[in-house]
Amino acid sequence: MNPVIEVRHLIKHFPLAGNFWGRQRAVLRAVDDVSLAIRPGETLGLVGESGSGKSTVGNCILRLVEPDRGEIYCQGQAVHSLKGNDLRRIRRRMQMVFQDPQSSLDPRMTVQTIVGYPLKLQRLAASSTEVAERVEHILTEVGLGREHLDRYPHEFSGGQRQRIGIARALITEPAFIIFDEPTSALDVSVQAQILNLIKTLQHRHGYAYLFISHDLTVVRHISHRVAVMYLGIFVESAAKGDLFEQPAHPYTRALLASAPKPNPDIRQELAVIAGDPPSPVHLPSGCRFHPRCPEAMPICRQKAPKTKNIGGDRADKLHRVCCHLY
C-alpha cells in the first residue's frame, strides 16, 4: 500500500540574530534529516521532550514553516515544490488539529462560519445551501448537533471546542491529518472521549494521522507505529508493540521509565533522565544524547551514530535505531 504522506531527509534550521556587524552568530537545528511515511488508516505517534522538534516537523510537512531541504509527498504529489494556487489546493488533503482549542478558533465567528470557511476558501461547495448541509453533517460526525451552529466558541467546553476544531479539519475530506498535542489542554475524562472519536473517524474513513505528543500513555493508545525524537533527529522508530515492549535506544528506555503507569495498585518509582537537553544551537559532538546517556561509550563522544534496522522485514514493521550500541 502506497503511503499517503512521505517525507525524505527533512531539514529545518533557524538562523539566530546576527552580531553588531550583521554576521550570523549561530543556527538552531530544529529538524535535522528526518524521514517518515504514513499509510492509509495508520497513525504514526511522534514523541519526545519539549524542544525536540516535533511540532516543527508537522509545520514543515504542511509548509506552514518552509523547510530548508527535503522532499514531501502527499498521495504521490510533490508538496515541497508547489507554490501559489497549487499549494493551496493540495492543503485540502492535508489538515491540522491544534493543541489549544480555544486559541485556534476565531471568537468572533459562529460554529457555522468556522467549520464552513474551508469549503469557501477551497471553492468546494457550489452554494451556501451545500455549505450548510456539509457543515451540519460533519458536526454530527464529531458528536455535535444543529443547535450548536449559531453559537460562538466561548459558549462551549474545552472538549466541545476541540470537536469543532476536528470538524473544521475534516470538512475538506482530507487524506492526512496532523494532531499536535490535541488533548494536552483537556481534562483526563475528556481526553479519552476525544481520542476515541479520533480512532473512530480513522476506522470509518481511513485517514492517515501524525499524532504529536509528549504523553506516552496517549501515544500507546492511539498509534500503530511510534517515532522517538531527540534534538531534531529520530533516535528510534518501530511498531507500537516493539517499541513499548522492547525499547532499543537508551533515550526511549529512559522516557518509558519516567512515565507513570496507569495502575493505582502499583507503587511506582519513576526514573529521571539525567541532566537537561543540550541546546539545539550548541549541539554536543558525536551522539546528541551522550551527555545524558548512562550507557555512553568513548565512540559516542567522537562520532555520530548511523540509523540501523534491528528488526522487521516489512515497511510497517521495521525497528530502526540510531545508536552505537547496535
The per-residue pLDDT for range 36-79, each reduced to its tens digit, is 999 999 999 999 988 899 999 999 999 999 999 999 999 999 99
What confidence tier does 268 reach under pLDDT thresholds 50, 70, 90?
low
Residue 186 CB partners (closer than 8 Å, separation 6+): 158, 159, 162, 194
Pairing status of strand 94-97 against strand 176-180 = parallel
| 144 in any annotated domain | no
Query: Number of structural domains, the chain?
Result: 1
What's the pLDDT band for 231 if we cut at 50, 70, 90?
A: very high
pLDDT at 270 over 60: no
- Evaluate whether residue 311 is within a structural domain: yes
Residues 69/11, Cβ–Cβ less than 8 Å: yes
Choose between 188 and 198: higher pLDDT.
Answer: 198
Answer yes or no: is pLDDT of 276 > 90.
no
The identity of residue 13, as a single letter, is: H
Q: Model-level pTM?
A: 0.92
Q: What is the mean pLDDT of residues 217-229?
A: 94
50 occurs within a structural domain = yes
273: domain range?
A: 5-106+175-322
**Is residue 229 one of the residues assigned to a domain?**
yes
Question: Mean per-residue pLDDT for 235-261?
Answer: 90
Backbone angles phi, psi at 293, to 5 degrees: -90, 125
Q: What is the pLDDT of residues 144-180, one digit of tens each?
A: 999 999 999 999 999 999 999 999 999 999 999 999 9
The answer to whether residues 212 and 46 touch, using CB atoms and an 8 Å cutoff, is yes
* Burial (0-12, 13-18, 19+ Cβ within 10 Å), 274: exposed
Q: What is the CATH number of the domain that holds 295?
A: 3.40.50.300
